[in-house]
Structure formats: structure tokens, C-alpha cells
Amino acid sequence: MSDSEMHGVLSALLERVGDAVSDAASTLDDLTDEDVAAGAAAIVAVALSETVVRIAQGVQADAVTALDRRRREMVGSSMTEHDLCRSLFVEIAMARQASTTAGETTYRLARDLEDHPEAHALLRDGKVNQAVVAAVCRETVYLDPSTRAEVDRELAPQLRALGPKRAAAAARRLVLDHEPHAAYERTVRAREERHVHLRPELDAMATLSIYAPAAQLVGVWHRLDAEASARRSDGDPRTIAQLACDLALEALNGAGVTSGGVAVDVEVGVLMRPETMFGADDAAAVLQGYGPVPAELARGLVASGRSWVRRFFTAADGHQITDVDPRRRRFPEVVARAVRAADEYCARPWCECRVREIDHVTAYAAGGETTRANAQGLCRSDNLLKQTRRWRVDTDHAGVRTWTTPTGHQYVAPAPPGVAPPSVLENHLRRLLEVSRG
Ligand SMILES: [Zn+2]
């Protein structure tokens, strides 16, 4: 079925890009030999590429708006707003091969640009970049559509000359002119978004960030800095940066931190082969919530005297956890733990959220078994999404999973990484287990 509206959007895209390329070509013709020798043509190509990206982002917003309108016409009131948006965010994210958050950002910007037609036109013509229009939309988000459109009109003539920060400041001034109360409402609204985020870094390190009201965080920061400086002047050999970090961890843990490890009662999962645990080899272990870590570090973590060891036995292919009753409906905790330990991230392509729920790929009701091969770790929202209208996940015999979205697009997720093939020691342990059962 042909779609005349989208054909129109695509022709407009082609036309704008064509114009930008011919403009660049005539610029090239006018270059002097000296400028060409210095690389001027390459800069023309850099600028052209930038323009093409902006044009494409402007057109992408048109496509998202069309998608949104059509989907709403199709589902009517049969879906909640939350489920509908969630479905759209993920579908846009998958088309962009990006995270759900990126999909949501694209969607929200497209909707915001409906109230900023002038800014949208500048983006579509390649005159301003997406960061600038996004910064403006963020500032006007609490205005009603007609006031937003007024701000858009007043701001448009100066937008081309501004970067995102200046554009945001200019937009904020206009917002305050129109609705002085809006700024305060924003600070109240922003507090709802407070959260803590963990980001894995290189060398078995991670960054924990706290998004909270600035006043509180500035207070915390000053206190950490003052206490660290005081301890440093009292002769503590650690640097002020190290001291501030250790003090923050101490406060958050509610306990003292030892130099090498963790001294709090929280569960930290580490998956490793028995040889690694006993020091016979140095295969990488997996720290749950972070990913692969050096064997030596993992051994240190489990050797703290406060740890428990749980053994997972695998079949010869290294994928299937044996010794689990396949007839049970609920996932046995042992399988859940194996999946959580092996799959750090949600199994939906491009989702990088932590695994929160274990899902039967083939539903139990449809004959799916409760085994490692039929299990996938999903984030909470994708597990819900999978059950909403027109979403489908199929798996083939090799464990490759195909996600089908409401528009019928398909995305393939590779089979989940198996636990490493069983080692000699594991096989020995399994034989011992079988003998003791028999
Ligand atoms: Zn997910």
C-alpha cells in the first residue's frame, strides 16, 4: 500500500538535500587554489554533512508526528496513553537502533516542534541544529501551545546565531515575560525526576550519579569537601578527591569502607567458573550490575568471609541449566539468578536497561519450558511492552529472537551468551552429583 503523505515527506527531504549539495558544489568551484591546498574543500564537506544531518532530523520529526497521529487514529481509546506512548517510544528507538530513552527523546521533540513551527522550519532547512531547538523546547515545555507558538515567533529571528545555552537563556527570558510563574513550576516539577544512576566505567570502576535539587547537592558537596580537607590537614595520606569519595561511600553505605572491598550487607552477585574461584585460571568473572571483571578482583569479592556460593550446573552445550524441574510455572530462583548473572542487559535489541524480570520466550501456556534456553532477561517495561497490542517475540531453534513491532518491522536479537562451556572441574562435580543421586 502506498502512502502519499510519506512520499511527499521523502521527496521534500530529497529536494532539500539536493539543494544543499548543489550549493556546496558551487562553493567548491569558487575556492582559490591556495584555499584548496589548505583543505578548504574538506571544510565544505564537513559543513554540508552537518546541514544534511539537520535536514534529516527536521524531516524525522515530521515522520514521528505522522506516526503518532496515525497510531492514535488506529487504536482510538483501546489503549491507555501510557501504553501507547511506551509502544511508540520503543518502536522509534528500534528504528533508530537506539535506547528507549533516545526513542522517547525523539518522540517528545517531534511533539514539541508542533508548537514551534518556526524553529522546526529552521531545523528542516538546516539553518539551526537539533540541540538548539531541543534547548528551546525544554524551556517552553510548561507553556500552553498558543503561548509556546508566540515565544517561537519572537525567538526565531535570533535563533540562527545562538548555541544551545544562549538559545535556552533567550527562550527562558521570553517565557518569564509571558508567564513569570512558569519557572517556579518547573523547579517543582523537576524535583519529581530526581533519581540515582549507575554507569559502568573502565577498569572495574563505575560512576554513581545523583540527580536532585541543586541546593541539596551543593550542600552535600560543600560538606564532603570541607570534611575531606579537614582530614587531609590532619595528616590523612589520601588526596582530597579520594577522601571525598570514601566519605560519600561511607555515608551511603552506612558503614566504613575497607580499602579493597565492600563492608555492607548488600548482595553482590559474581558469576565465575570454579577454576577461577579457586585460582586455577584467570578467566574473566561477571559482576552483576557491572559486567566482566578481572578474576583476581572477583576472588577478592567472594573471599570476604561474608559471601555465599551458589553452583550452577550446565548441560554439555553450556547453555542449559540442568537440575531444574521444567514443569514449574514460576521461574525457579536458581534459573533466575543464572540469567541475571549472565545477561546484564535487557534482551530487547538496543535496550541497555538492567535485567529486572525473567520472561519465557515461548510462553509456558504454549508449551515453553522453564529452562535457560527459553528464558530471557528483560527490563520491567519491555516485559510489559511485549504483552501489549501488536508486539510479538519469536524464537528459532538456534535461540535467535525476532521482535515484531506494531508496524510489522522486525528486529533480530542474537542468542543470549551462554555460560562458558563446562570445565573439567564442573563435569567432575556433575558426575559426583549424579552418583550421589543414583
Ligand atoms: Zn528493555
Lowest mean pLDDT, pick from 35-44, 221-230, 272-281:
272-281
* Residue whose C-alpha is closest to residue 10's, from 53, 64, 51, 59: 59
- The answer to the question of residue 250 being in a domain is yes
CA contacts within 13 A on the Cβ side of 98: 13
348 alpha carbon – ligand 1 mean position (Å)? 5
Give me ligand 1 centre to Cα 99, in Å: 9
Q: Which three cell numbers stand for residue 60?
A: 524525522
Nearest 5°: the CA angle 154, 155, 161 is 145
- Per cent of the chain over pLDDT 90 is 38
Q: What is the pLDDT of residues 349-385, one digit of tens each?
A: 888 787 777 777 777 667 776 666 677 788 888 988 9
Same domain, 144 and 232: no
**Ligand 1 centre from 270 Cα, in Å?**
22
What local confidence, expressed as pLDDT, does residue 244 receive? Answer: 94
* Dist. CA 365 → ligand 1 center (Å): 23
How many A from CA of 346 to the centre of ligand 1? 4
- Cα(350) to centroid(ligand 1), Å: 8
CB contact set of 129 (below 8 Å; sequence gap of 6+) = 50, 54, 123
Give yes or no for residue 257 having a pLDDT over 60.
no
Compute, in angstroms, the gap from residue 201 CA to the centroid of ligand 1. Answer: 21
Q: How far is the CA of 79 from the centre of ligand 1 (A)?
A: 20
Query: Tens digit of pLDDT for each residue in 398-425?
Result: 778 899 998 889 898 876 655 444 445 5
Which pLDDT belongs to residue 117?
97
Question: What pLDDT score was predicted for residue 96?
Answer: 96
Which range is least confidently modeled, 141-145, 173-177, 230-234? 173-177
In this structure, the answer to whether residues 62 and 165 fall within a common structural domain is: yes
Count: domains in the chain = 3
Rounded to the nearest angstrom, the distance between the alpha carbon of 93 and the centre of ligand 1 is 11
State the virtual CA torsion across 9, 409, 346, 339 in degrees, nearest 10.
-170
* 411 backbone φψ class: left, alpha, beta (φ>0; ψ -120 to 50): beta
CB 285 within 8 A of CB 292: yes
User: Is there a single domain that holds both residue 260 and residue 167?
Assistant: no
Average pLDDT, integer, range 79-100: 94
Structure confidence by residue, pLDDT tens digits, 299-318:
777 665 556 666 665 555 55
Residue pair 132/164 in contact (Cβ under 8 Å)? The answer is: yes
Q: Is residue 416 part of a domain?
A: no
Q: What domain range includes position 159?
A: 4-191
Query: Cα(382) to centroid of ligand 1, in Å?
Result: 5
Task: Inform me whether the pLDDT recorded for 57 exceeds 50.
Answer: yes
The Å distance, Cα 384 to ligand 1 centre, comes to 10
End residue of a domain, out of 159, 191, 223 = 191
- Residue 45 carries which side chain, given as an amino acid letter? A
Whether the per-residue pLDDT at 2 is higher than 90: the answer is no
In a domain, 68, yes or no: yes
| Predicted local confidence at residue 360, as pLDDT | 77
* Cα of 305 from ligand 1 centre, angstroms: 35
Question: Ligand 1: distance of its center to the CA of 262 in Å?
Answer: 29
Check whether residue 142 and residue 124 sit in a common domain. Answer: yes
| Distance of CA 162 from the midpoint of ligand 1 (Å) | 37
pLDDT at 55 over 70: yes
Q: What is the mean pLDDT of the chain?
A: 81
Residue 48 alpha carbon to ligand 1 centre in Å? 36
Shared-domain flag, residues 261 and 294 = no
- 139 inside domain: yes
Q: Does residue 221 share a domain with residue 115?
A: no
Report which listed range, 12-16, 263-267, 329-333, is most confident: 12-16
Query: What is the model's pLDDT at position 269?
Result: 72
- Bridge partners for 210 per DSSP: 196
Task: Give the distance (Å) from ligand 1 centre to CA of residue 89.
Answer: 12
**Cell 508486539 belongs to which residue?**
391
Distance between Cα 355 and ligand 1 center (Å): 7
Cα 401 to averaged position of ligand 1 atoms, centre (Å):
14
Where among 302, 321, 352 does a domain terminate? 302
pLDDT of residue 346: 85
How close is the Cα of 354 to the center of ligand 1, in Å? 7
Ligand 1 centre to CA of 390 (Å) is: 17
417 CA → ligand 1 middle, Å = 17
